[in-house]
Amino acid sequence: MWTYEKRLQYPVKITKTCPKTAQLIISQYGGPDGELSASMRYLSQRYTMPVKSVGGLLTDIGTEELAHMEIICAMIYQLTRNLTIEQAKTAGFDAYYIDHTAALWPQAAAGVPFTALEFQSKGDAIADLTEDLAAEQKAKTVYDNLLRMITDPEVRAPLKFLRTREIVHFQRFGEALENTKEKLNEKNYYFYNPEFDKQMIGY
Amino acid sequence: MNVQHLAIASVPIQSWGSIYDSSVAINKGTIFQDLDLPFFAADKDENQISDSKQSGKADAKQLEREEKMMQIYETCFVVDDLRLYLDTHPKDDQALQLLKTNLVRRRHLLDDFSSNFYPLTMDCMAEACGAKSYSGCYCWQEGPMPWEGGCV
């Protein structure tokens, strides 16, 4: 189960209203490489992982991704909490405003709603961990793109924190893949699916 | 005999290296100097979390609360990063030692914050209720919501 700790993992204190910035970073809430996708991906994949410690790592990273989603949401909230109708109209936030006012709703920067189609839970440890490595790379690229466009230091600081976390998670998933490989037949990692053909492990 | 490991991704296993001090680590996003790989477009930023001290608007109690909260952020982040490292390096003595130190510190800081301000976890409710008396105290809802940016 989960319990709530009443603080963010990294502090967010944004004083300047900017709906345009909110519209960009919302992608890391509900977009294809966002934190919600990341969390659901890892927390879905963990149940059938053949190596126990990898299931544990997916739980811990999936949990951290929930905290990252909260950081992103706090940023969007603070960027729009004092929004005037004029600001909403002029900053490209108008369409979002019509549907959600200044509330939080998971969507990509281009308006596509959050969907489970953005991630996989394939039931094959190598396939899933390889997806997880790619997911961290893609999320890092989004943070790079955001850091090129956004100048407000109060927004940049949490974005940089989150970008580094993607790199750390990539390293951990890589190590998890190495740990999984150790349990497999090193002459042919594809002889069986360790997540389904459990009787073959150690073959 | 050398087996060629083809058609599979490989990532080198990290070995224990230089560790950032907790006050630096949270600004970097990792405690591991070897994993601090900044982006050129953000490399020159000043990486400092802003607090009310700089704006000069807050009273002494608020400043004290922010300072204590910052210590919680720093210590808990060391725990977060070590947890993932230990998930893939469960026998690393240096990591275990650092985890132990920071877990004790985390507990102490959370209890202290709870007694002086408001509880951050349900477990801290005992501390908060003990310090303030039970009558009319459902202190779980005290303090700003985390997304308000009011505490740090």
Per-residue pLDDT tens digits for A21-51: 999 999 999 999 999 999 999 999 999 999 9
More confident residue, B48 or A14: A14
Which chain A residues in 45-74 lie under 8 Å from chain B, judged by CB atoms?
53, 56-57, 60-61, 64, 70, 73-74
Residue A203 has pLDDT above 80, yes or no: no
pLDDT value at residue B147: 97
More confident residue, B136 or A56: A56
Which of A178-182, B59-63, B74-78 has the weakest average pLDDT?
A: B59-63
Tens of pLDDT, residue by residue over A39-83, are 999 999 999 999 999 999 999 999 999 999 999 999 999 999 999
A156 touches chain B (CB under 8 A): yes
From the list B7, B13, B72, which residue is nearest A178 (CB)?
B13
Q: Do B45 and A64 touch (CB under 8 A)?
A: no
Chain A with chain B: Cβ pairs closer than 8 A: 154
Residue B144 has pLDDT above 80, yes or no: yes
Q: Do A5 and B120 touch (CB under 8 A)?
A: yes
Q: Report yes or no: A69 and A12 within 8 Å, Cβ to Cβ.
A: no
Provide the β-strand partners of residue A107.
Answer: A113
pLDDT value at residue A16: 96
Which of A54-68, B3-17, B46-60 has the weakest average pLDDT?
A: B46-60
List phi, psi (to 5°) of B21: -60, 150
Would the ipTM clear 0.95, i.e. be above it? yes
From the list A7, A70, A165, which residue is nearest B29 (CB)?
A165
Residue B134 has pLDDT above 60, yes or no: no
Contacts of B42 in chain A (CB under 8 A): 147, 156, 159-160, 163
pLDDT value at residue B45: 74
Q: CA-CA distance, B3 to A31, in Å (whole number)? A: 41
pLDDT value at residue B41: 93
- Torsion sign (Cα): A16, A19, A25, A28: positive
pLDDT value at residue B132: 63
pLDDT value at residue A150: 97
Tens of pLDDT, residue by residue over A146-196, are 999 999 999 999 999 999 999 999 999 999 999 999 999 989 999 999 999
Residue reference for tokens 């977009």: A31
From the list A74, A147, A186, which residue is nearest B149 (CB)?
A74
pLDDT value at residue B129: 72
CA distance B135 to chain A (A): 23
- Nearest 5°: CA angle at B78, between A43 and A46? 15
Residue B56 has pLDDT above 80, yes or no: no
Contacts of A156 in chain B (CB under 8 A): 42, 45
Q: Do A168 and B88 touch (CB under 8 A)?
A: no
- Torsion sign (Cα): A164, A170, A172, A174: negative
A130 touches chain B (CB under 8 A): yes
Residue by residue, DSSP assigns A157-180 as HHHHHHHHHHHHHHHHHHHHHHHH
pLDDT value at residue A90: 79
Residue B44 binned pLDDT confidence (cut-offs 50, 70, 90):
confident
Q: Do B149 and A160 touch (CB under 8 A)?
A: no
Q: Do B45 and A176 touch (CB under 8 A)?
A: no
pLDDT value at residue A83: 95
Residue reference for tokens 């800081």: B109
Residue A88 has pLDDT above 60, yes or no: yes
Which of B19-23, B105-109, B146-150 has the weakest average pLDDT?
A: B146-150
* pTM, to two decimals: 0.96
Q: CA-CA distance, A115 to A123, in Å (whole number)? A: 19
Residue A197 has pLDDT above 80, yes or no: yes
Q: What share of chain A is helix, strand, coil (3-state, %, to 5)?
A: 65, 0, 35
Q: CA-CA distance, B147 to A74, in Å (whole number)? A: 5
Tens of pLDDT, residue by residue over A111-149, are 999 999 999 999 999 999 999 999 999 999 999 999 999
- Nearest 5°: CA angle at B141, between B138 and B143? 120
> Of A65, A175, A187, which to mutate for an interface test with B (greatest number of B Cβ within 10 Å)?
A175
Which of A14-28, A85-99, B25-39, B83-97 has the weakest average pLDDT?
A: A85-99
